[in-house]
Amino acid sequence: MSADAPTTHVEPIDEPLTDPAELRLAKRLTLQYVITAQVILAVAGVLGVLMRDSQANLGRLDPNWFYALMTAHGLGAFVGWAGFSVMGLAYWVFAQVGFPVRKFGRVMAEATYWLMVAGVGGIVVSTLALHFAGSWVFLYPLPFHSAGEWGKWATAIFLTSVLLVGLSIVTWCFSILHTAISPALHAVSEKWHNRFGVALGFGYLWPKRFATNPKSVPYPVIPLTVISVDMIIATLPLAVLLVEMIVQTFVPSAHVDSLLAKNVLWWFGHPVVYLLLFPAVAVYYVLVPRFAGRKLVSGNVITVGWTIAIIANVVVWAHHVYLDYPVDSPQAAINTAMQPLTFSLTIVSALSLYSLFFTIYKSDYQWNAAGTALFLGLVSWLSAGLSGVVNATIAFDQIVHNSLWIVGHFHQMALLNIGFVAFAAVYAWLPDWTGHRLYSESMAKWQVWLTFLFGTAQSAVWLIEGLDGAPRRFAVLPGRFLTMSQIGAGIAIVLGATQILFFWNILQTIRGKVAKPASERGGLGVLVAKGVMVVLLGLLAFAAGAAIWIVVDNVSKSPATTTAAKPTTPTPTTTTPSTTTTPTNLGGGDPVAGKTVFESAGCSGCHTLSAAGATGTVGPNLDDAKPPLALVVARVTNGKGAMPSFKSQLTPKQIKDVAAFVVQSTSGG
Partner 1 sequence: MGRIAIIIAVSYGILGVVAVLVIATLVWSSTRGRNRQTNLHKLAEREKTWFGIVVVMLVALLFTTIWFTPYSRSQDNGQAFPVKAEQFAFIVPGRVLHAGVPVKFSLTSADVNHGFAVFNSKNVLLFQVQVIPDHTQNYVYTFKQPGIYHIVCFEYCGVGHDQMKGEFTVR
Site for partner 1 in 47-66 (CB under 8 A): 63-64
> Quick check: 562 binds partner 1 (CB under 8 A)?
no
- Classify residue 641 as left (phi > 0), alpha (psi -120 to 50) or beta: left
Closest to 308 measured CA to CA, from 244, 242, 230, 232? 230
- Piece of 107-115, 120-128, 273-281, 332-340 that binds partner 1 (CB under 8 A): 332-340
Residues 156, 297, 622, 662: which binds partner 1 (CB under 8 A)?
A: 297
Q: How far is the CB of 178 from partner 1 (least distance, A)?
A: 31
At closest approach, how far in Å is the CB of 629 from partner 1? 7
Among residue numbers 372 through 401, which ones bind partner 1 (CB under 8 A)? 375, 379, 382-383, 386-387, 389-390, 393-396, 398-401
Candidates 182, 355, 459, 666; binder of partner 1 (CB under 8 A) is 355
Question: Min. distance of Cβ 628 from partner 1 in angstroms?
Answer: 4
Examine residue 152 and tell whether it contacts partner 1 (CB under 8 A): no
Of 114, 250, 361, 542, the one binding partner 1 (CB under 8 A) is 361
Among 191, 214, 364, 553, binds partner 1 (CB under 8 A): 364
Residue 354 vs 504, nearer CB to partner 1 = 354
157 versus 360: smaller Cβ distance to partner 1: 360
If the CB atoms of residues 36 and 397 are measured against partner 1, the closer one turns out to be 397
CA neighbor of 632 nearest in space, from 656, 599, 602:
656
Q: By CB under 8 A, what part of segment 587-626 binds partner 1?
A: 625
Torsion-angle region of 264 (φ positive above 0: left; ψ -120 to 50: alpha; else: beta): alpha
Measuring CA to CA, which residue among 202, 198, 191, 275 is closest to residue 233? 275
The radius of gyration of the chain's CA atoms, rounded to the nearest angstrom, is 27
Q: How far apart are CA 164 and CA 158, in angstroms?
A: 10
Binding to partner 1 by residue 328, rule CB under 8 A? yes
Tell me how many residues contact partner 1 (CB under 8 A): 112
Considering the rule CB under 8 A, would residue 414 count as an interface residue with partner 1? no
Adjacent-strand bridge partners of 403: 471
Among positions 18, 213, 519, 568, the unique one binding partner 1 when judged by CB under 8 A: 568
Q: Where are the alpha helices (DSSP H) in 401-440?
A: 404-413, 419-434
Q: Are 413 and 389 within 8 A, CB to CB? A: no
Contacting residues for 95 by C-beta, under 8 A, at least 6 apart: 16, 17, 22, 23, 26, 27, 30
Q: Is residue 304 within the footprint of partner 1 (CB under 8 A)?
A: yes
What are the DSSP calls for 163-225, one per residue? HHHHHHHHHHHHHHHHHHSSGGG-BS---HHHHHHHHTTGGGT-TTTT-BSSSPPPTTHHHHH
Work out how close the CB of 129 gets to partner 1 at its nearest, in angstroms, rounded to a whole number: 17
- Select the residue interacting with partner 1 from 159, 245, 287, 302 (CB under 8 A): 302
Of the candidate residues 121, 183, 252, 340, the single one contacting partner 1 (CB under 8 A): 340
Nearest distance, CB of residue 2 and partner 1, angstroms: 15
Q: How far is the CB of 387 from partner 1 (least distance, A)?
A: 7
Q: Which residues contact 522 (CB under 8 A, 6 or more apart)?
A: none
DSSP conformation class of 603: G
465 interacts with partner 1 by CB under 8 A: no
Nearer residue to partner 1 within complex by CB, 178 or 445: 445
Residues 499-558 close enough to bind partner 1 by CB under 8 A: none
- At 14 the three-state DSSP class reads coil
413, 388 contact by CB (below 8 A): yes
Q: How far is the CB of 326 from partner 1 (least distance, A)?
A: 4
CA dist 26 and 100 (Å) reads: 8
The C-alpha angle 257, 260, 262, rounded to 5 degrees, equals: 110
Contact call for residue 159 and partner 1 (CB under 8 A): no
Residues 225-264 interacting with partner 1 (rule: CB under 8 A): 257-259, 262
Q: Is 215 in the site for partner 1 (CB under 8 A)?
A: no
Strand 614-615 with 608-609, pairing: antiparallel
Out of 477, 491, 622, 658, name the contact with partner 1 by CB under 8 A.
477
CA–CA separation, 154 and 131 (whole Å): 7
Q: Closer to partner 1 by CB, 4 or 468: give it.
A: 468
Judged by beta carbon, residue 477 or residue 484, the one nearer partner 1 is 477
Using rule CB under 8 A, residue 269 touches partner 1: no
- For residue 570, the SS3 value is coil
Q: CB under 8 A: which stretch of 96-104, 176-184, 235-243, 294-302 binds partner 1?
A: 294-302
> According to CB under 8 A, which one of 251, 254, 323, 535 is a site residue for partner 1?
323
Residue closer to partner 1 (CB basis): 358 or 503: 358
**What is the residue-wise DSSP string for 303-348?**
HHHHHHHHHHTTS-GGGGGTT---TTSSHHHHHHHHHHHHHHHHHH
162 counts as binding partner 1 under rule CB under 8 A:
no
Q: Please tell me whether residue 209 binds partner 1 under the rule CB under 8 A.
A: no
Residue 643: phi and psi, rounded to 5, are -75, 120
Q: Taking a C-beta distance cutoff of 8 angstroms, is the pair 609, 662 a contact?
A: yes
- Interface residue with partner 1 among 161, 498, 505, 580 (CB under 8 A) is 580
Q: Which of 360, 373, 482, 658 binds partner 1 (CB under 8 A)?
A: 360
Shortest Cβ 315–partner 1 spacing (Å): 16
Selection from 103, 104, 102, 122 nearest residue 114 by Cα? 122
Q: Which one of 22, 102, 135, 601 is in contact with partner 1 (CB under 8 A)? A: 135
Query: Using CA atoms, how far apart are residues 590 and 661, in angstroms rounded to an integer?
Result: 7
Q: Work out the angle between the directed axes of helices 63-75 and 103-124 (0-180°, nearest 10).
A: 170
Residue 69 Cβ vs partner 1, minimum distance, rounded to whole Å: 12
Under the criterion CB under 8 A, does residue 577 sit at the interface with partner 1? yes
CB of 323 to partner 1, least distance (A): 5
CA 477/CA 414 separation, integer angstroms? 24
Nearer to partner 1, 112 or 383 (CB): 383
Considering only residues 634-663, where is the footprint of partner 1 by CB under 8 A? 634, 640
592: left (phi over 0), alpha (psi -120 to 50) or beta: alpha
Judged by CB under 8 A, does residue 566 bind partner 1? yes
Q: If we measure between CA atoms, which residue out of 191, 57, 82 comes closest to residue 136? A: 82
Q: Which stretch binds partner 1 (CB under 8 A): 131-139, 410-418, 489-497, 588-596?
A: 131-139
Q: How far is CA 161 from CA 97, 116, 243, 545, in A?
A: 34, 9, 11, 41
Q: Which is nearer to partner 1, 309 or 321 (CB)?
A: 321
CB 582 within 8 A of CB 60: yes
Q: Which is nearer to partner 1, 352 or 509 (CB)?
A: 352
We find the least distance from the C-beta atom of residue 667 to partner 1, in angstroms, to be 10
Subset of residues 75 to 114 that bind partner 1, contact rule: CB under 8 A: none
Assess 115 for contact with partner 1 (CB under 8 A). no
Answer yes or no whether residue 445 interacts with partner 1 by CB under 8 A: no
Minimum CB separation of residue 496 from partner 1 in Å reads 23
What does the buried/exposed string (b/e) look like for 502-533 if buried means 16 or more CB atoms within 10 Å of the residue's CB?
Answer: beebbebbeeeeebeeeeeeeeeeeeeeeeee
